[in-house]
């Protein structure tokens, strides 16, 4: 399995997440424009795949590759923390049930809050393991 196929497997899983647009680095999607009340506050998820390690798993040349799916969940500040936490919880549930295509997802870890001029967000890191023969 390669980075491209891992990204495709993770992308297929995230394609089932419909609560907010998912943005990948270099993708064609842009963060949504902020809205005005009474419209529902805009939200989006920025995603990246990072590798944290690799090691020989057996004498036949098998390997264990460790990585993380890094999600940054953002909503307009006026939506409050509950909206962001709801999106983070939905993503956690998705990854908990999402083992597929040779990837095993481990327990997701939610991060602290971040604030910008318009957006409020939280991070979510989802460790994964891939075994190569």
Q: Render pLDDT for 96-123 as a digit per residue (tens, 0 to 9).
A: 998 877 889 999 999 999 999 899 999 9
CB atoms within 10 A of CB 92: 17
Mean pLDDT for 19-27 is 94
Q: Please identify, in words, the CATH class of the domain defined by 3-132.
A: alpha beta
d(CA 18, CA 10): 15
Mean pLDDT for 80-91 is 96
1 has pLDDT over 70:
no
Structure confidence at residue 75 as a pLDDT band (50, 70, 90): very high
Q: What are phi and psi of 76, to 5 degrees?
A: -60, 145
Q: Would you list the domain boundaries of the chain?
A: 3-132
d(CA 9, CA 47): 13
What's the whole-number average pLDDT of the chain? Answer: 91
Q: What are phi and psi of 105, to 5 degrees?
A: -90, 135
What sections of 1-133 are H helices per DSSP? 3-14, 80-96
Mean pLDDT for 4-21 is 92
């Amino acid at each position: 399995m390669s980075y491209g196929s891992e990204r495709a497997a993770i992308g297929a899983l995230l394609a089932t997440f419909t609560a907010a647009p998912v943005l990948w680095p270099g993708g064609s999607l842009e963060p949504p424009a902020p809205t005005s009340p009474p419209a529902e506050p805009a939200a989006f998820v920025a995603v990246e795949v990072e590798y944290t390690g690799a090691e020989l798993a057996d004498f036949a040349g098998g390997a264990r590759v460790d990585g993380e799916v890094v999600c940054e969940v953002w909503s307009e500040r006026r939506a409050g923390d509950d909206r962001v936490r709801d999106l983070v919880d939905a993503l956690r549930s998705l990854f908990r049930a999402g083992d597929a295509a040779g990837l095993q997802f481990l327990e997701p870890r939610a991060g602290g809050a971040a604030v910008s001029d318009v957006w409020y967000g939280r991070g979510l890191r989802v460790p994964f393991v891939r075994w190569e023969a």
